[in-house]
Chain A
């Protein structure tokens, strides 16, 4: 299963992903210029939360045990079998907002104007997710879930190496829990 991973250290909180997701996935015009003139305003499916010290782009995690799936009153929310993504079938959604109250990450958004809920579908039917494509610092990356262990191992190795190079400093920092 492919998911969007976040390199937290690289996110600067610039919100480029939000803007482009809103324009490309939420607007009719599909460009930023057209998007700004549209009513209702296009809605992004990714949100960057937190300030400059700790910005974090949040979107649907496509949970393996997804509370939103159990909550949907109409069967509009379902898991796409091939990709494993949790998606909303818009023609079945009645905009009752039950799912929005069940996602613990708060990443299903009501669109009162369109009378449907919107959420990230990892741009399933596109070549690459828009947010991943536009992130200026490459903080977002599509990863194969099976490959995540490998990615984390690489990260750990890098950290160990950096710590070794810094002498005691890194260890002390970790001890302090900073």
Chain B
């Protein structure tokens, strides 16, 4: 009997490695649909535009462990909880003793883009596609990035930095709709425009035009945008089709407890596929750090008599957009009080969202000082004190400023117990 892990993204691999470390006599089989596994998905934009060599994409995956089997290029087709078995698309059946579902999400392709094949349209999600994208981009320089998600924004910035002509097309009123307040989004949008990215908001997709089977233009929000590449970053949806009828789904979602356990105590979930039910609310963090920590916890909990809950379900995301640093501490909450510090001339906006006097989210744009401390503050779930609020005031000087006058410098610098300077 072995522990089976479905999905070889970071959540799956982290779970596999942790399981081998924590439960050393249990064998682990990891199954992944992609041919290639064990890479940093987050680095795909840099790789696609040629800014990162391919070898930097991969991480170590316990190659020499006889009790760890990695099966790539095979997809799980069905799950039978009664016989505790999985069926693969090869027809093979595998039995498990414990199961971790970590099969992430698939790119969401809006209707027209999902339609009949058209050259030059690529989702931003996996390595196989990223390789094709890289090859295509070599002689196609006019790119539309469709989707104002974090992945879309990141991809657009890296493309622009690499010299591509880039338009970022967003269905709704501003970029990063689910992550930032309109005010913060405005600061980021202004920066992206300064980089030379054209941003089209309120632009739902209407039409695409093909020439010889390849994309030639896109019409969105009444505007026609000539382009020879469309990169789609309109979010992800987990593929839960093989779990239908197993009783594990609630409204089509794989909902787990805070200990990442499904209603079947032998089955756990981690990473982008997991919807975590916590205090009556559903958390879908969908970030890399969460996939890592959830993968770890799911594996630790596998054989525990009392599984431990996940302690940090915040949705923290950080980015460097070529000259503008930002940290998202948690999405805006309707009805929340907002405290902020803004210096528009320096592209700085730092804000916190408060509910019942406690910080529940926020964003730091242009100055990310104290990001870690503010994150800890959100986790502490205590009322914000005046001193805590001080943290919002930026301290841009994160380098030492030496005093100007020579005399004073000496007085400050010389330490009495050190003879040489």
B-binding segment of A70-78, A121-129, A143-151, A157-165: A70-78
Hey, which chain B residues are within 8 Å of A98, CB to CB?
288-289, 316-318
**Distance, CA A15 to CA B43, complexed state (A):** 38
Point out the residues of chain A lying under 8 angstroms from B371, CB to CB.
97, 100-101, 106
Contact A73 B42 (CB under 8 A): yes
B376 at the interface (CB under 8 A from A): yes
Give, as a whole number of angstroms, the nearest-CB distance from A50 to chain B. Answer: 12
Q: Please tell me the size bucket of the interface on A.
A: 35 or more
Instruction: Report the interface size class on chain B.
Output: 35 or more
Q: Is the CB of A36 within 8 A of B288?
A: no
B296 proximal to A (CB < 8 A): yes
Known contacts A100-B368, A101-B375, A104-B376; is-contact A19 B319 (Cβ 8 Å): no
Q: Are B40 and A103 closer than 8 Å at their CB atoms? A: no
B292 is an interface residue with CB less than 8 A from chain A: yes
B56 contacts A by Cβ under 8 Å:
yes
Is the Cβ of B400 less than 8 Å from the Cβ of A102? no
User: Which of A39-47, A79-87, A169-177 lies on the face that meets chain B?
Assistant: A39-47
A104 near B372 with CB under 8 A, answer yes
User: Which of A36, A108, A134 counts the most chain B CB atoms within 10 A?
Assistant: A36
Tell me the nearest residue of chain B to A71, going by C-beta.
B289
Nearest-Cβ distance from residue A40 to partner chain B, whole angstroms = 7
Which stretch (B245-253, B350-358, B411-419) binds chain A? B411-419
Label chain B's interface by main secondary structure. mixed
Among A96, A104, A112, the residue within 8 A (CB) of B318 is A96
A106-B370, A110-B368 known; A74-B398 Cβ under 8 A: no
- For the complex, is B257 an interface residue (Cβ under 8 Å from A)? no
User: Which chain A residues border B320 with CB–CB below 8 Å?
Assistant: 94-97, 112, 115
A14 to B413, CA, bound (A): 9
* B399 and A42 within 8 A (CB): yes
Is A42 within 8 A of B400, CB to CB? yes
Flag A62-73 by CB within 8 Å of B: 1 or 0 each.
000001001101
Contact check, B400 vs A18: say whether CB atoms are below 8 A apart.
yes
Chain B hits for A36, CB < 8 A: 402, 409
Chain A residue with Cβ nearest B380: A104
**Chain A positions within 8 Å of B138 at CB level:** none
Residues of A within 8 A of B373 (CB): 104-106
Complex-state Cα separation, A75 to B398, whole angstroms:
25
Asked if A75 and B59 make an inter-chain contact with CB atoms under 8 angstroms apart, the answer reads: yes
A17 to B155, CA, bound (A): 40
Contacts of B304 in A (CB 8 A): none
A43 and B399 contacting across the interface, CB-CB below 8 Å: yes
0/1 interface trace, chain A 24-39, chain B, CB 8 Å (1 if under): 0000000111011000
* Closest beta carbon of chain A to B301's beta carbon, Å: 15
Contacts of A70 in B (CB 8 A): 289, 292-293, 296
On whether the beta carbons of A101 and B46 are closer than 8 Å, the reply is no
- Minimum Cβ distance to chain A for residue B412 (Å): 8
* Residues in A neighbouring B379, C-beta threshold 8 A: 104
- Interface flags for B254-292 (1: CB within 8 Å of A; 0: not) read 000000000000000000000000000000000011001
Q: Is B329 interfacial (CB 8 A cutoff)?
A: yes
Contact assessment for A73 and B43 in the assembled complex, using a CB-CB cutoff below 8 Å: yes
**B203 near A: Cβ within 8 Å?**
no
15 further A-B contacts with Cβ under 8 Å, apart from A16-B415, A32-B421, A70-B296, are: A18-B400, A36-B409, A42-B399, A43-B400, A75-B59, A94-B320, A97-B320, A97-B327, A98-B318, A101-B316, A101-B329, A101-B368, A102-B375, A104-B375, A106-B371
Chain A residues with CB under 8 Å of chain B are 14-16, 18-19, 22, 31-33, 35-36, 40-44, 67, 70-71, 73-75, 92, 94-98, 100-110, 112, 115, 134-136
10 tightest A-B CB contacts, nearest first: A41-B399, A104-B376, A101-B371, A71-B289, A103-B372, A97-B318, A136-B415, A98-B318, A106-B373, A73-B42
